[in-house]
């Protein structure tokens, strides 16, 4: 059973068109939820860590929020350079101590 499900799989936006990406998780006793950005052929680039429901983090045009079952990555007025795959990952008791369980990602394309 997938512990991390991301939706949509792909999202195409016009520049300036705000939207949200979803990450739902089934891990109980969440120890941390992480958002990463991944460009083609590159390693995941860390964006945010969220530890408890109600927590929010912001960075430039991105804002991440967390509830007990899901996290949202809100993108406000995106630019073409925001095009990338956005990955969500969780740590919890079922993921043992150290490993992060990744979702399949949302591939975001922002057209000028």
Partner 1 sequence: EPEVTQTPSHQVTQMGQEVILRCVPISNHLYFYWYRQILGQKVEFLVSFYNNEISEKSEIFDDQFSVERPDGSNFTLKIRSTKLEDSAMYFCASSVGLDNEQFFGPGTRLTVL
The residues of the shown chain that bind partner 1, judged by CB under 8 A, are 31-32, 34, 36, 41-46, 49, 51, 87, 89, 91, 95-105
CB of 67 to partner 1, least distance (A): 19
| 84-91 vs 32-38, strand pairing mode | antiparallel
Neighbours of 101 (CB within 10 A): 18
Nearer of residues 14 and 97 to partner 1, judged by Cβ: 97
Q: How far apart are CA 28 and CA 34, in angstroms?
A: 15
Nearer of residues 17 and 22 to partner 1, judged by Cβ: 22
């Amino acid at each position: 059973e997938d512990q991390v499900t991301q939706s949509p799989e792909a999202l195409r936006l016009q520049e300036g068109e705000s939207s949200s990406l979803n990450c739902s998780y089934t891990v109980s006793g969440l120890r941390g939820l992480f958002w990463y950005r991944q460009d083609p052929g590159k390693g995941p680039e860390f964006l945010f860590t969220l530890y408890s429901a109600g927590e929010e983090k912001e960075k430039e045009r991105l804002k991440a929020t967390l509830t007990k079952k899901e996290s949202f990555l809100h993108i406000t007025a995106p630019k073409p350079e925001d095009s990338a795959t956005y990955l969500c990952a969780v740590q919890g008791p079922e993921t043992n101590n150290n490993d992060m369980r990744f979702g399949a990602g949302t591939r975001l394309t922002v057209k000028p």
